[in-house]
Structure 1
Amino acid sequence: MIEVAPDVLALLVAAAFFAGFVDAIAGGGGLITVPVLIIAGAPPLTAIATNKVQGVFGAGMAAVSYGRAGHVDLRRQLWVALLALGAGGVGALLTAALPTQLIRIALPVLLIAIALFFALKPGLNDIDRTARFGPMMFAVTVVPLVAFYDGLIGPGAGAFYMIGFVALAGYGVLKATAHTKLLNFSSNLGGLLIYALVASPWWITGLLMGFAQMAGAYVGARMAMRIGSKLIKPLLVVSASVLAAKLLWDLT
């Protein structure tokens, strides 16, 4: 049985499509879907768990779209994705044991810093640069850290992956976006596996939203690949800024 009325479901599906579109380009889709789920009557933990259900579909579709276009080698990145899956699961498992309120206070500051980095740093485009971290160092440090946060809380994880790939791995903006979606999918899935045990997701609603997420992610990924950093950069700045504002508002 569907958990919400048909008119509410239509709103959630529309929100999921838009969230998938935005998330495939710049991240921040949870900023759209989690509040809408809460407005629809889901308790906060149920809203977060349901968001993981539908978010897996959107991130997965975006990752496949970028992979098919050659922007990320999904097979070569499989072991890194498994690291993200495990760290995301650990983060979700420890949600009740860590000082998440402290993290929520620091998160807006970090997101504003990310927005300023992409808005003000000259020369950010789709061309790779010299990496500060090698692939192995990046995989065993940045990836588990962001994936752990994704399972623990979630909002802004895509922006953190992006800043890592651009600032530390030396990736161009489009390549960073493609790799971000693969890891976002993995850490989302790891978190979902735990939330499925400790929470009560709206499974049918989440699955229907997931199909809409897939459609939105497909459109968003295609547009990002066609336009590149000229689209990704401004949308990432707006996404990170709006998410920071929303988190600051929630703290008041």
Structure 2
Amino acid sequence: MNIIQLCPETIAILFFTGLLAGFVDSIAGGGGLITLPVLLSVGLPPQAALGTNKLQGTFGTLSAAYNFIHKGEADLKKSSTGILFTFIGAAMGSFTIQLLDPGFIRHLVPVLLFIVLAYTMFSPRLGYENQEPKMAQNLFFIVFGLGLGFYDGFFGPGTGSFWTSGVCIFLGYNMIKAAGITRIMNFTSNIAALSFFIIGKNVSWTAGIWMAAGQVIGARIGSDMAIKKGAGFIRPIFMTVAALTIIRLFYKS
């Protein structure tokens, strides 16, 4: 188990980082872009930082998912197939990451995210209203659940963007409902991955809980704003997060 000593200043940084990340993540994903560098900066080794990131992220996605479900913008029962296959995929991915280096996938993800960003930019009405689905819901959840679940457990950056765009494009949902489904699936992959990081003793509970406290508050505020303001509010944040993720991954490649 990774234990680090935290001074009051570091605790404050972790809390407010979690709050900001929870806010952003509940709207458009990408919270890991904010939290992971901070966890590394407080002295956690990479595997422990990844595991601790899953711990704090689990609280944020649970808070946001509950809010979307409670306000009728996401349906847990209709998402059950996605939950099952996302859990399976994430468990496989988180087991694999503790054995392998994810370096090879870093070069592919920015390209895929760029395609998602370009498609969104050239589809100005995407996410504003429901459209005809291009894929059967169960098939979508099986394919995307296994694929994005594995990816989130194995590497992670951009998962929320892939889920949101996939739900809008292939299931035809508006961005509010897509954000709700994304949070449910993010929570599922987080809890699955977290289980394996705990087994591998790659979680710092102290750092994770302080950051999680901020996550819960930020996720509630962000999901409330997403539900109230709709696609006009979600879309620019979604595109900004996707662009920043591309830049970060290209910079690290």
Give the TM-score taking structure 2 as reference length.
0.95
> Using the alignment, how far apart are the partners of 1:55 and 1:241 within structure 2?
21
Distance 1:80 1:125, change over 3 A: closer
- Asked whether the 8 Å contact 1:174–1:228 carries over to 2, the reply is yes
> Using the alignment, how far apart are the partners of 2:101 and 2:46 within structure 1?
17
Residues matched between the structures, number: 251
User: For residues 166-205 of structure 1, what are the structure 2 equivalents within 5 Å?
Assistant: 166-205=168-207
Q: Write the deviation string for residues 22-56 of structure 1: whole angstroms up to 9, x where unpaired.
A: 00000000000000111111111111110000000
Distance 1:125 1:167, change over 3 A: closer
Name stretches of at least 5 consecutive residues in structure 2 with no aligned partner.
none
Partner of 1:20: 22
Partner of 2:166: 164
Whichever residue aligns with residue 174 of structure 2, its letter is: G
> Using the alignment, how far apart are the partners of 1:145 and 1:207 within structure 2?
29
> Using the alignment, how far apart are the partners of 1:89 and 1:174 within structure 2?
27
- Asked whether the 8 Å contact 1:60–1:181 carries over to 2, the reply is yes
> Using the alignment, how far apart are the partners of 2:78 and 2:134 within structure 1?
21
Give the CA deviation at 1:162.
1.0
Give the CA deviation at 1:96.
4.8
Give the TM-score taking structure 1 as reference length.
0.95
- More displaced stretch, 126-135 vs 73-82: 73-82
Distance 1:99 1:13, change over 3 A: closer
Name stretches of at least 5 consecutive residues in structure 1 with no aligned partner.
none
- Asked whether the 8 Å contact 1:53–1:210 carries over to 2, the reply is yes
Q: Write the deviation string for residues 1-22 of structure 1: whole angstroms up to 9, x where unpaired.
A: 7632221111111111000000
Distance 1:138 1:98, change over 3 A: farther
- More displaced stretch, 73-82 vs 156-165: 73-82
Partner of 1:87: 89
> Using the alignment, how far apart are the partners of 2:164 and 2:207 within structure 1?
29
- Aligned: 1:137 with 2:148: no
Partner of 1:48: 50
Secondary structure class of the residue paired with 1:127 = coil
Please give the root-mean-square deviation of Cα atoms over the aligned residues, in Å: 1.5
